[in-house]
């Protein structure tokens, strides 16, 4: 909504309304696997306005973001000239899976490095036998 003034001094309200389905479709297109993208009302304790499934009334969950969900907000962007904030919440399973992959890959690389050092040491010791 925007307040407008006419040439003769009258005050009018310009109001634009969108179907939540259209905005939900836009939000759904932004959402990557392992993420939840939502529009929340920033001045009302993280009240969910629109998610990928639709408006708040169509969601099968609490209408507010939990403290845990707020802690998992990966990115947020204010929607200009509105009380909305676009948030990207990473799924808890995605975080656990990413940690596992990092530790697994580190273990493989570290084991390969140690194996390479051992093989190099064995090769060096065989090659450098004392000649009496």
Quick: pLDDT tens for 14-65. Answer: 887 778 888 888 888 888 888 899 999 977 788 999 898 888 888 888 999 9
Are residues 6 and 64 both part of a single domain? yes
CB within 8 A of 109, min separation 6: which ones?
none
Percent of the chain with pLDDT over 70: 96
The chain-wide mean pLDDT, for the chain, equals 87
Are residues 6 and 54 both part of a single domain? yes
At 95, the pLDDT band (50, 70, 90 cuts) reads confident
Are residues 104 and 77 both part of a single domain? no
CB within 8 A of 77, min separation 6: which ones?
85, 86
**65 touches 40 (CB < 8 A):** yes
Residue 12's CB is within 10 A of a number of other CB atoms, namely 10
Domain enclosing residue 7, as ranges: 2-90
Assess whether pLDDT exceeds 90 at residue 113: yes
Are residues 81 and 29 both part of a single domain? yes
Q: What is the spatial distance between Cα 78 and Cα 100, in angstroms, rounded to a whole number? A: 33
Are residues 130 and 74 both part of a single domain? no
Q: What is the spatial distance between Cα 130 and Cα 132, in angstroms, rounded to a whole number? A: 6
Determine the pLDDT at residue 40.
92
54 bridge partner residues: 51
Are residues 81 and 117 both part of a single domain? no
Are residues 40 and 26 both part of a single domain? yes
**36 touches 91 (CB < 8 A):** yes
Are residues 72 and 12 both part of a single domain? yes
Domain count, the chain: 2
pTM of the model: 0.59
Are residues 19 and 47 both part of a single domain? yes
Are residues 24 and 52 both part of a single domain? yes
């Amino acid at each position: 909504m925007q307040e407008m003034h006419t040439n003769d001094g009258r005050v009018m309200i310009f109001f634009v309304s969108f179907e939540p389905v259209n905005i939900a479709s836009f939000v759904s297109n932004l959402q990557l696997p392992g993420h939840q993208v939502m529009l929340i009302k920033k001045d009302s304790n993280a009240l969910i306005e629109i998610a990928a499934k639709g408006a708040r009334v169509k969601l099968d969950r609490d209408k507010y973001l939990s403290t845990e969900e707020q802690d998992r907000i990966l990115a947020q962007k204010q929607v200009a000239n509105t009380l909305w904030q676009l948030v990207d919440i990473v799924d808890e399973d995605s975080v656990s899976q990413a940690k596992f992959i990092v530790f697994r890959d580190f273990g493989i690389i570290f084991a390969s490095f140690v194996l390479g050092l051992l093989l190099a040491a064995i090769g060096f010791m065989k090659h450098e036998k004392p000649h009496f």
